[in-house]
Structure 1
Amino acid sequence: MTVSPFQRILFALYIAIFFVYLLGPLAVMGASAFNTPEYPQVWPFEGFTLDWFGKLFADQDMMYGLKMSLWIGLLVVCISVPIGLAGAIVMTQITPRARSLYYLVVVSPVLTPGIIIGISTVVFWRQFTGQTGTRFLYDGVILTVFGQASFISAYCMLIILARLQRFDRAQEEAALDLGASYPQVFFHILLPFLKPALFSAAVLAFLSSFENYNTTTFSILSEKTLTTVLAGRMRQGTTPAISALAVIIVAVTVLGAIVYEILKRRADAAAVQRQRAAQAAEEEELAGTPSPAPA
């Protein structure tokens, strides 16, 4: 099938519009972060400056919200990844008839609006802590971690489950036949196989927690995160300091992706070298084995 020049032009135009729509806002914010006017603007470019980055780091509310977002994100990772791992393992162990109902129950928080999760979290824990005398749990940070983990753990479970479905159960059976215990099989066979999925789930959980607003704005109570601070600033009027924050976040994201890709390629190259070394050793062993004498 031949493609006409007109179709090629349309396809190239579509790709150009797509990337402009995708990267255009980032380019505008990146340019306004280095422009001198107090209101974010790209044109006219009145002068190059780095003052907005200094004002960003001098903003106490912004830095406090950033610190709280990082702290909450780490706590959500510590809770969501183990829960997702447990949910994925249970999914593969229960009977096929119960899997549909189990899947519906564990995935339902993903389908629930974040506003409902946030309000439900506050109402439930207010009643629970009041009746049990554990008022110290009724804290904005704790409620936000619980509220976010209730649906982020489902994302983690889906990622881990996709990797777990490719696991060969014969490895577990062989280890058990050789005398290994169930904890040894879990830590020495299953977890190393799930390491890429666990890392991906942890990254997704942290990013989902860091950018979450709907659940956080209700469950955070008197505390504040970066998203709630930014929402308040947007209502009052934005400044190029927010553009500077966007530039930093994009730069850190791109740098992290580059570092991950470099480490992944090095690991793949090392695995290929080990495989070649093993094959070479096997060939040398076969070449050194004397052939049986004729009868």
Structure 2
Amino acid sequence: MKAQHVNTLQLWMYRLYLVIFFIYLLAPLILVVVLAFNDSSYPSLPWKGFTLRWFQELFGDNRLLLSIWNSLRIAIVVSVLSVFVGTATSFALVRHNFPGKNLFYALALGPIVTPGVILGVSLLIGISNIEDLAYMLKDQGSFLGTWLVAIYKTRLFPGLGGVVLGQASFIISFVILTVSARLKKFDVALEEAAMDLGASRLGAVWRITIPFLKPALFASAILAFLLSFDNFNTTIFLVGNESTLPIHIFSMLRFGITPKINAISVVLIVVTVVLGFFSDKFSKQE
């Protein structure tokens, strides 16, 4: 009886812990969602009635819509670039042995543990130094210098192009981890069998291996999109005169918190939960 009493007490303590944990985790998000529908000029209680006007104002804010469009474009490009480079790197790390492989693996995953601020500042300094070098080469009549200066005059660096490079520099590492874990489970004998039947190595990889990797590729693309879309600490150093959604929200916060920020947060929460659900679903497929 004593052992049964102890087990019952442990069960109730475990349940209490879970309740407290989820309250701690979800209470701020629930409050943000509730205040987004509160008919008050300030995002605070008491409740003054239900309204959708804060969501309606989002569609009338051209600067906000432009920042969302910039974030979407960047996230899509970063996702495609990260999945392509990350998958190719995963094949190199899993399928081949070469001198310095362990060092290369450490360098490939290093950006994960590198603070985003350091990545942003480092890339900004690198872009600035390359720009100075480009103008110096142009003054010397170099075609390379003229070409680089033309690129810089597009304001992609710093700008949206710099943001893409900065975000991809660490998001690729997450793709490598996801795709490599899936690739290690693949039986190479299936590729060899396809080649015995007349397929080329590239054809065997495309028809056999890539379909096997689809769950990891899809999950990696969603993860890359989410990491890119809400990135702030790297983007702020590289965005130049452009604006992404996190940068725009930060600029809005400097003038005070309004219910529009709550409305934006609700939209982001919904998008994140939906994409996270699909990412988890596809990553568990066998």
- TM-score of the aligned structures, taking structure 2 as reference length: 0.85
Letter in 2 for 1:184: G
Distance in 2, matches of 1:88 and 1:259, equals 23
Match of 2:30 in 1: 27
Contact kept, 8 Å, 2:222 with 2:275, in 1: the verdict is no
Pick from 105, 110, 113: which aligns with 1:111?
113
Give RMSD over aligned pairs.
2.2
Distance in 1, matches of 2:180 and 2:212, equals 12
Distance in 2, matches of 1:94 and 1:35, equals 58
Match of 1:179 in 2: 198
Letter in 1 for 2:37: F
Deviation, structure 1 residue 202? 0.3
Contact kept, 8 Å, 1:66 with 1:225, in 2: the verdict is yes
What runs of 5+ residues in structure 2 fail to find an aligned partner?
135-144
Spell out the pairing of 1:117-136 with structure 2 (5 A cutoff): 117-130=119-132, 131=134, 132-133=145-146, 134-135=148-149, 136=151
Distance in 1, matches of 2:17 and 2:47, equals 29
Match of 2:89 in 1: 87
Spell out the pairing of 1:147-186 with structure 2 (5 A cutoff): 147-186=166-205
Q: 1:108 to 1:256 in 2, by over 3 A?
A: closer
Q: What fraction of aligned residue pairs are identical, expressed as a percent? A: 39
Deviation, structure 1 residue 222? 1.1
Match of 2:138 in 1: none
Q: 1:179 to 1:97 in 2, by over 3 A?
A: same
1:8 and 2:11 are equivalent in the alignment: yes
Deviation, structure 1 residue 117? 1.1
Match of 1:49 in 2: 51
Pick from 209, 214, 223: which aligns with 1:195?
214
Q: 1:106 to 1:180 in 2, by over 3 A?
A: same
Contact kept, 8 Å, 2:222 with 2:276, in 1: the verdict is no
Match of 1:209 in 2: 228
Match of 1:237 in 2: 256
Distance in 2, matches of 1:226 and 1:175, equals 47
Deviations along 1:194-226, one digit per CA (max 9) or x if unpaired, are 111100110010000011111000010111100
The alignment of Structure 1 onto Structure 2 pairs a total of residues equal to: 264
Distance in 1, matches of 2:238 and 2:274, equals 32
Letter in 1 for 2:94: T
Q: 1:146 to 1:258 in 2, by over 3 A?
A: closer
Distance in 2, matches of 1:243 and 1:6, equals 40
Deviation, structure 1 residue 88? 0.4
- TM-score of the aligned structures, taking structure 1 as reference length: 0.83
Match of 2:142 in 1: none
Letter in 2 for 1:113: P
- Greater Rg by CA: 1
What runs of 5+ residues in structure 1 fail to find an aligned partner?
272-295
SS at match of 2:50: coil
Deviations along 1:146-184, one digit per CA (max 9) or x if unpaired, are 011011011101100000000001011111222211221
Contact kept, 8 Å, 2:223 with 2:279, in 1: the verdict is no
Letter in 2 for 1:51: R
